[in-house]
Amino acid sequence: MQNGTILTFDSTHTVLNPGQILIQDGIIVQLGETVDLTNIRVEEVVDAEGGLILPGLVNAHTHSPENLQRGVADRLKLEQWLPLIWRDLDQLTPRQNYLAALLGCIEMLKTGVTSVIDHFRAIPQDLDRIEAVVNAYTMAGLRATIAIMIRDRIHPGDLPATRSTSTPLISQSLPELVDICEEAIQRWHAPEKGIQIMLGPSAPHRCTDQLLERMQILSKQYQVGVHTHVDETQVQAEIARQLYGKSAMAHLHDLALLTPDLFIAHGVWIEPTDIPLLAHHGVSVVHNPVSNLRLGSGVAPIPALYTHGVNIALGTDGAASNDSQNLFEVLKWTALLPRITLPEPENWLSARDVLSMAIRGGAVATRSAHRLGSLEVGKQADLIILDTNHYAFQPLHDPYHQLVYCYHGTTVRTVIINGQMVVDNQRIRTFDEGAVYQETAEIVKKLIKGE
Ligand SMILES: [Zn+2]
């Protein structure tokens, strides 16, 4: 790869202008102002003339079935929105789950996402549906972490609306759920190849302590992460107080769940005393500002977490609460949102900090910081090329600033994942977008609109 400006996102944020990268078997083997090609037969030269080259973004929290429900159910808070959205989505067949995941892949790939965490909900949870999404991401060539969403408790305050469906919210026992998780890990967990399994308890108040403790044991046993929602809404924070007499984070601490392998989505209503606890135990937080605004959930204390040294990753959340899967929107909101409540500019996040959250922070949230998160020799080649011949970068003053504040992610020229070119000249190479649109439209007609 040659002639582009490389933002490496290494620890000192080295920029090479221009720079060259040599990729072999999916690994960056050389990177610099020039590379040495003596005795090397180059198979393909990518000319990145006029391009910005940077590591791909990590969408660290979404729910793929919601790709079928974008643009619906506006002006509802989470507790009213959830049963309405999921009534139909819990009924999907494996084929429908497969297509829903591909629909998300189209938007993510075309807006520069190279790795996703799909906190995958299916009730009842089953291996066929998990296999369907594993197959979708594998076929698309998008690196994916499937966090298997499970629950074994209902709190009445969590779900005030009724569900008019035959599927009860809880239909599986803890041993059944554990079997599914273990089987999925054994069948599909292969992080270096692009698919990994995580444990995905839905949220502490939707799980018994027994389930949560079991997750911690499995996490250690199989060396997999635990990804869960915590304190997304004020209602949830109040439920935690009621159930435990303390915050959800303090309760997870009592259960010994706070470790560097715990990744919490949202944390909007965590308490000030939770922040040093999270920092001390190396827990990551995945921030989803667009979803939090859409559902009126509130504003997470990201600058405070960040200054305490908590790893922050960024997510879109599901398409039914966003309504896109575009991480560039999330970048801008992440940078600007704290400015409403924090009067002093020195407490605001910089554009480069925010981009780092989506890249280096995302690598940590996928337990991949040793393999991904920067363009450096020895790391896996997940990178994107953006055209600077675009109004967002004209005139070009500061690429970090303009990536966050000016760009919308809609003209990503090239996406390379694990050394494979997945998007070439803004076209997905791995599957047929049009066919996915067609079949998902049919599904929605039948399943959701009941035609
Ligand atoms: Zn979520």
Residue-wise pLDDT tens digits, 21-60: 999 999 999 999 999 999 999 999 999 999 999 999 999 9
User: Rounded to the nearest whole angstrom, what is the distance from the C-alpha of residue 106 to the centroid of ligand 1?
Assistant: 20
Consecutive 10-residue averages of pLDDT for the chain (451 residues): 96 97 98 96 94 98 97 94 91 96 98 98 96 98 98 83 64 96 98 96 97 98 98 97 98 98 98 98 98 98 98 98 98 97 95 98 98 98 96 97 96 97 97 98 86 74
Nearest CA to 189 among 223, 238, 235, 236?
A: 223
Q: 292 alpha carbon to ligand 1 midpoint, in Å?
A: 10
d(CA 166, ligand 1 centre) in Å? 23
The alpha carbon of 184 and the centre of ligand 1 are apart by a number of angstroms equal to: 21
What's the CA-to-centroid distance between 288 and ligand 1, angstroms? 8
Residue-level pLDDT at 334: 98
∠ CA 182-186-187 to the nearest 5 degrees? 115
Q: What is the 368 CA–ligand 1 centroid distance (Å)?
A: 21
What spacing in Å lies between the alpha carbon of 199 and ligand 1's midpoint? 14
pLDDT at residue 162, rounded to an integer: 53
- Peptide linkage before 382 cis (omega within 30 of 0): no
Q: What is the pTM of this model?
A: 0.98
Query: CB within 5 A of ion ligand 1: which residues?
Result: 317
How far, in Å, is the centroid of ligand 1 from the Cα of 185? 21
Ligand 1 centroid distance, CA of 446 (Å): 25
- β-pairing, 51-55 vs 57-62, is unpaired
The rounded distance, in Å, linking the Cα atoms of 140 and 143 is 9
Name the nearest CA neighbour of 5 among 403, 420, 407: 403
Q: What is the pLDDT of residue 380?
A: 98
Alpha-carbon distance of 153 to 25, in angstroms, equals 46
Measured in Å, residue 175 CA sits from the centre of ligand 1 at 24
Distance 104 CA to ligand 1 centre (A): 15
**Cα of 253 from ligand 1 centre, angstroms:** 21
- Amino acid 253: pLDDT: 98
Q: What is the pLDDT of residue 398?
A: 97
pLDDT value for 171: 84
Strand 412-417, strand 312-314: pairing: unpaired
Q: Which residues pair with 146 in a beta bridge?
A: 118, 197
Q: Report how far ligand 1's centroid is from the alpha carbon of 431 (Å).
A: 27
The CA 378 to ligand 1 mean position distance, Å, reads 33
Closest of 246, 277, 249, 254 to residue 264, by C-alpha: 249
Distance from Cα 118 to the centre of ligand 1, integer Å: 9
pLDDT value of position 305? 98
b or e along 361-394 (b: 16 or more beta carbons within 10 Å of the residue's beta carbon)? bbbbbbbbbebbbbbeeebbbbbbbbbbebebbe
pLDDT of residue 165: 57
pLDDT at 196: 98
CA of 88 to the centre of ligand 1 (A): 17
pLDDT (0 to 100) of residue 163:
54
CB within 8 Å of 358: residues ≥ 6 apart = 57, 58, 313, 314, 327, 330, 331
How far is the C-alpha of 117 from the C-alpha of 53, rounded, in Å?
23
Taking the centre of ligand 1 as the mean of its atom positions, its distance from the CA of residue 286, in whole angstroms, is: 10
Catalogue all structural domains in the chain, each as residue range(s) with its CATH number.
4-55+374-428 (2.30.40.10), 57-365 (3.20.20.140)
Ligand 1 center to residue 287 CA distance, Å? 10
